Amino acid sequence: MPNIIHSPGLAAVNDHSDNSATFVIEPLHSGYGMTLGNSLRRVLLSSISGAAVTGFKIDGITHEFTTVKGVKEDVVTIMLNLKGLRFKVFSGDIQRLRITKNGKGKVTGKNITANSEVEIVNPDHVIATVDDDKTKFVMDLNVEIGRGYRTVEEGSLDKTNDMIVLDAIFSPVQRVRYKVENTRVGRATDLDRLLITIDSDGSISPRDAFEEAAAILVNQYSALAGKTRVESTPHEGVMDDSNKINSEQDDESELLTSIDDLNLSARTTNALVNNDIHTLKDLFSLSDVELRDLKGFGSKALDEVKEKLTELEL
């Protein structure tokens, strides 16, 4: 039927590395390769949740236009280096971390004393260089979760205890490229194929970033569409994760299995139960992005759940 706009599918995911992948989306209605590619790219670069340093304090320093005794870099250079630190944060609260370095040597992400809610993605990243054996370098950091870019004026101006506030780049997506090609299905020869390549900083996988961007666009457009629905027909031969979920829903008794019976860690189980997820059916109703955003959950817990479901062949 020529008046139907066919729904696309995720035909393939080509992983180039842990932090880079190309997603092949086809078949798309004529012209929709550019429409979806541009929309996804803009959302991926501006709206994916990530973590960044939003403030810091160095003992004896009250403003950024100065130097630190025994340290090679001035405070402005240290500020720029702090912006290169990347984190995985498993809580929505502000994380307060400390860096301690005694004597000569480079101060890197490895010198950060992290807690159970924070993982340093690039521990070898250089923050400063101590060039005096008698110097004890101590720095406190504020790390927050956010989206896109936030200026100092927009942030929570935490001036407590000489805290210097930073503008923050939260986005974990470093680069997005897309290309539109021609494809055909049956007699239809004017369809599009979209190839979109995502490079992340390691704090989120390209797959999770892709799904989060798509979910953001769905929410935005659904809010505008109201009750209006347009007939669409999906093409065969493309990946469709919903098929897997639908097949599992056929066995209702299996879906009613309690979360407590999965033998997950106490922390992961409590996080699920506290978010009103009590059965496999509740679990399968949420996407990876929605699970990772649950209060007290996070990427580590999501990985644990995926491993357990794979082990149980679910």
CA–CA distance, 25 with 205 (Å, rounded to integer): 18
CATH number at residue 62: 2.170.120.12
Contact 292, 48 (CB under 8 A): no
Shared-domain flag, residues 42 and 187: yes
- Regarding whether 175 and 44 lie in a shared domain, the answer is yes
Verify that 271 and 312 share a domain, yes or no: yes
Q: How many domains does the chain have?
A: 3
* 103 in the same domain as 188: no
Q: What CATH number does residue 25 fall under? A: 3.30.1360.10
Which of 169, 200, 218 is the C-terminal boundary of a domain? 169
Q: Note whether 132 and 124 are within 8 A (CB).
A: no
Buried-exposed string 223-248: b where 16+ CB fall within 10 A, e elsewhere? eeeeeeeeeeeebeebeeeeeeeeeb
pLDDT, one tens digit for every residue, the chain (314 residues):
456 677 788 999 999 999 999 999 988 888 899 999 999 999 999 999 999 999 999 988 888 888 888 899 999 999 999 999 999 998 888 999 999 999 899 999 999 998 889 999 999 999 999 998 888 999 999 999 999 999 888 765 455 556 889 999 999 999 999 999 988 776 767 888 999 999 999 999 999 999 999 999 999 988 888 877 776 665 554 554 444 434 444 445 566 777 777 778 888 888 888 888 888 777 777 777 777 777 777 777 888 888 877 776 66
Q: In this structure, how many other beta carbons lie within 10 angstroms of the beta carbon of residue 78?
A: 24
Residue 73's pLDDT is 92
- Is the same domain home to 245 and 225? no
Give the domain range for residue 120: 51-169
Last residue of a domain, one of 169, 193, 226: 169
User: Which two three-digit tokens encode residue 73?
Assistant: 């870099």
Contact assessment for residue 95 and residue 142, using Cβ atoms and an 8 Å cutoff = yes
| Same domain, yes or no: 41 and 62 | no
Q: Residue 133: how many CB atoms within 10 A of its CB? A: 10
Question: To which residue do tokens 């541009």 refer?
Answer: 38
Distance CA 276, CA 282 (A): 8
pTM of the model: 0.69
| CA distance linking residue 178 with residue 83, whole number of Å | 27
140 close to 94: Cβ distance less than 8 angstroms? no
Q: Residues 58, 63, 68, 72: is their CA dihedral positive or negative?
A: positive
Helices (H), 47-122: 75-82
Same domain, 122 and 225: no
Task: Quote the DSSP letter at residue 238.
Answer: S
Which among 40, 6, 43 is positioned nearest to 26, based on CA atoms? 6
DSSP-based three-state secondary structure for 214: helix
Domain co-membership, 187 together with 267: no
Residues 97 and 159 in one domain: yes
- Whether residues 94 and 21 share a domain: the answer is no
Helix (H, G, I), strand (E, B) or coil at 236: coil
44 in the same domain as 148: no
* pLDDT score for 234: 58
Question: Is the N-terminal amide bond of 27 cis, ω within 30° of 0?
Answer: yes
Question: What pLDDT was estimated at residue 246?
Answer: 43
Which of these three, 205, 234, 263, is where a domain ends? 234
CATH of the domain at 301: 1.10.150.20
CB atoms within 10 A of CB 289: 21
C-beta separation of 278 from 258 below 8 A: yes
Q: Are 171 and 45 in contact (CB under 8 A)?
A: yes
Do 117 and 257 share a domain, yes or no?
A: no
What 8-state DSSP symbol labels residue 154?
T
Helices (H), 226-298: 241-249, 252-255, 266-274, 280-284, 288-292
